Structures are given as structure tokens and as C-alpha cells.
């Protein structure tokens, strides 16, 4: 059951990524600075690291000594007390389910576990954010203070909020902002009213007149029209 659910969510996220996120140009790829996999000499304590993961770009704060603090959704702490199991590298299944159950922890992992096979980018948010980063050691100490369980929300309290809170002193997420922008442009596009109205009519023709088809047919286009 759990596996089926994870499978569905992963598939859904792939479609979602392709359709919505690419459409909205989620990441400004050209501005990012790739850094080679062998990390040690180039990273300093307090650097903000990024790697791509299933649903989103993942963020963490480098603590030095090959360790990264990051906020990551994880279902396991809800299912078991076995610390050894929980400490093991977080797979995508654990991550996706943690996301759905809004369970997350700020934890410390090795660079390799944090990267999960992807290339790590360093400090690339500095160009996007309008704020100056705090002093490096202060950034790392803010991250260390937050280690432990953490409330999670994909949109309002995610790994990017954690990273920006530590590095700049205030939490914000480009991914959330892009998503909201995208939602806004859909709402403000008058074609959405027409399309939702047409879909409603099709559902009425197909399933017949009933409150479950007529109400949405009227209310959704009306709401979109008023909100747009």
C-alpha cells in the first residue's frame, strides 16, 4: 500500500515537474555555479549548498568536516524508534512519504548522503537573494541550533526556507514564489475561466445533471473570474 502510494506520488511529481515546473522555468539554470563532486577544499562552513532531488531542489548548510545540516521530509521517525535506521541515508520513498505526512527533521549528513548522487552547487542563491549573507560561522550556528524535529510544509516551510533562514536571517523560497507566480498567471488568464467552464459542461453532458457536476461548473469558473 505504502509503496503503491509512493509510486503514484513519484509518477505524479514527474508529470507535475514536466508540465508545470518547466513551463514556469523553475530554476534559472544559467546563474548556477557547478562545483565538482570532490568537495573538501572548496567548501567553507556556512556555505549554502543545493542539489536537485525528486520534487524540488534541496538545500543544506555546510558545517565543515564533510557534514551538512539540512531540513528534509522523512517518514521513518513516525514509524520507528530505531535510531540506526533513521540515521541511514534518506531514500526518495522516505522523502515523498514524509512530505505527504508533513514530517521532517533537521539532520546532519555527510556530503555524499546529502548530495544523493547529484552535483552540488554552492552559494548560488546569493545572486538571487537581495540580502547579504550573515557571517559564515553565524550561518552554521543557526543551522546547528535547529537540528531535530521540524514542522514541514512543501510550500510554506521547506528546505529552502531553512537554508535562507540560516544564511540570510529570513526565510524565503524561490521555488514557492515561482509556484505562486505560476498559479497567479493561471488564475489571471481568462482562458482558465473558459476552459474550466467547458470542462464543466463536458462533465454535465457526460455524467448528467446533478449537484456534483453543475455546482462545480458554475462555481469554479465564477471563482476564477472573480479572482482574476
Ligand X SMILES: *[C@@H]1O[C@H](CO)[C@@H](O)[C@H](O)[C@H]1NC(C)=O
- For the annotated catalytic residues, the residue numbers are 159
44 belongs to the binding site for ligand X (CB under 6 A): yes
129 belongs to the binding site for ligand X (CB under 6 A): no
Q: Between 136 and 174, whose beta carbon lies closer to ligand X?
A: 136
47 belongs to the binding site for ligand X (CB under 6 A): yes
- Smallest distance, Å, CB 50 to ligand X? 12
3-state secondary structure at position 164: helix
224 belongs to the binding site for ligand X (CB under 6 A): no
Whole-angstrom Cα distance, residue 227 to residue 190?
10
Element (DSSP H or E) covering residue 58: strand 57-64
Q: Between 33 and 190, whose beta carbon lies closer to ligand X?
A: 33
Tell which residue, 73, 38, 44, 42, has the closest CA to residue 61.
Answer: 44
Q: Which DSSP string corresponds to 3-23?
A: HHHHHHHHHHHHHHIIIIIHH
Q: Which residue in the set 6, 103, 105, 123 belongs to the binding site for ligand X (CB under 6 A)?
A: 123
Helical residues (DSSP H) of the chain, grouped into ranges: 2-16, 22-23, 76-79, 83-87, 92-101, 111-115, 125-128, 136-145, 159-168, 174-188, 190-207, 211-227
133 belongs to the binding site for ligand X (CB under 6 A): yes
What does the block give as the cell for 60?
A: 543544506
- Smallest distance, Å, CB 103 to ligand X? 31
Element (DSSP H or E) covering residue 203: helix 190-207
Q: Between 39 and 200, whose beta carbon lies closer to ligand X?
A: 39
Q: Between 91 and 136, whose beta carbon lies closer to ligand X?
A: 136
Helices and strands of the chain, counted as H and E runs: 12, 6
Query: Nearest residue to ligand X, using CB?
Result: 123
Name the segment binding ligand X (CB under 6 A); options: 23-31, 44-52, 172-180, 211-219.
44-52
**Binding footprint of ligand X on the chain (CB under 6 A):** 42, 44, 46-47, 122-123, 133, 136
Amino acid at each position: 500500500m505504502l509503496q503503491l502510494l509512493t509510486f503514484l506520488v513519484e509518477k505524479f511529481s514527474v508529470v507535475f515537474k514536466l508540465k508545470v515546473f518547466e513551463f514556469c522555468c523553475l530554476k534559472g539554470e544559467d546563474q548556477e555555479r557547478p562545483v565538482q563532486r570532490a568537495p573538501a577544499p572548496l567548501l567553507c562552513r556556512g556555505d549554502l549548498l543545493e542539489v536537485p532531488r525528486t520534487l524540488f531542489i534541496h538545500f543544506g548548510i555546510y558545517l565543515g568536516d564533510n557534514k551538512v545540516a539540512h531540513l528534509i521530509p522523512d517518514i521513518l521517525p513516525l514509524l520507528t524508534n530505531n535510531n540506526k535506521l533513521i540515521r541511514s541515508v534518506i531514500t526518495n520513498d522516505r522523502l515523498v512519504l514524509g512530505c505527504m505526512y508533513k514530517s521532517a527533521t533537521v539532520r546532519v549528513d555527510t556530503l555524499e548522503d546529502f548530495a544523493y548522487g547529484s552535483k552540488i552547487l554552492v552559494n548560488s542563491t546569493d545572486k538571487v537573494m537581495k540580502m547579504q549573507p550573515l557571517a559564515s560561522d553565524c550561518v552554521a550556528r543557526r543551522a546547528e541550533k535547529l537540528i531535530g524535529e521540524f514542522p514541514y510544509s512543501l510550500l510554506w516551510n521547506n528546505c529552502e526556507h531553512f537554508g535562507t533562514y540560516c544564511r540570510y536571517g529570513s526565510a524565503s523560497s524561490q521555488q514557492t514564489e515561482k509556484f505562486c507566480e505560476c498559479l497567479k498567471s493561471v488564475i489571471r488568464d481568462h482562458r482558465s475561466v473558459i476552459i474550466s467552464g467547458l470542462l464543466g459542461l463536458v462533465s454535465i453532458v457526460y455524467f448528467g445533471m446533478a449537484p456534483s457536476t453543475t455546482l462545480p461548473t458554475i462555481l469554479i469558473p465564477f471563482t476564477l473570474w472573480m479572482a482574476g
